[in-house]
A and B are shown apart, each in its own frame.
Chain A
Amino acid sequence: MTKADLVEIVYEKIGGLSKKESQDIVEKIFETMKASLKQGDKIKISGFGNFTLRDKRPRKGRNPQTGDDIEITARRVLTFRPSQILKSHINEPTKTS
């Protein structure tokens, strides 16, 4: 499934929208989420999961190819924690929705 498939689904299931409008909305959903994460604000989508930001301290690493010691710089990373609903949904044997 790609963004284009989501656009198609929105276009088919929501009446009264053009293809272009459906595309703009789907685009806007992800752009809005990105803008929030960029500001350092986590996202909670109930029934789906949480996107959280974690600040990692610098640590020592090694270049696996050369064996050289390198410093892995401090960084902020994004992690996704699926909700209990999503976790149990994907383990259901038959399609329910």
Chain B
Amino acid sequence: MTKSDLVEKLSESLTNLTKKECEVIVDTVFLNMKDALHRGEKIEIRGFGSFTVRTRRAKEGRNPKTGEKVAIPEKRIPFFKVGKELREMVNG
């Protein structure tokens, strides 16, 4: 399922909305989730899961080709933890 499949399904079940409106809403939802993570906020969707931002500390790496040392700066990574309900659902 892609984002456009999701929009399609939504507009089928929400007959009061056009496909275009559904698309704008779906984009709004994911854009605002992205911005929340950018602010370092945790997102909790009950029954689905939660998104958090983890910080990976700076470390020293090596260029595998030349063997040269390179500094890898601190980095923030998004992390998803699946909710109990969904975890059991996919394993059903």
Distance of A8 Cα from B87 Cα, bound (Å): 27
In the assembled complex, which residues on chain B have CB atoms less than 8 Å from the CB atom of A29?
6, 10, 25-26, 29
- Out of A6, A36, A76, which one reaches B29, CB within 8 Å? A6
Beta-carbon contact of A90 and B76 below 8 Å: yes
Beta-carbon contact of B6 and A89 below 8 Å: no
- Given known contacts A10-B28, A36-B1, A82-B78, A2 and B45 CB-to-CB distance under 8 angstroms: yes
Query: How many residue pairs at the A-B interface have CB separations less than 8 Å?
Result: 137
What does DSSP make chain A's interface, helix, strand, loop or mixed? mixed
Number of interface residues of A (CB under 8 A): 48
Shortest Cβ gap from A3 to chain B (Å): 5
Please indicate which of the listed interface residues A26, A36, A91 has the most CB atoms of chain B within 10 Å of its own CB.
A91
Chain B residues in contact with chain A, CB under 8 A?
Answer: 1-3, 5-6, 9-10, 13-14, 16-17, 21-22, 24-26, 28-39, 41-49, 51, 53, 75-80, 82, 86-87, 89-92
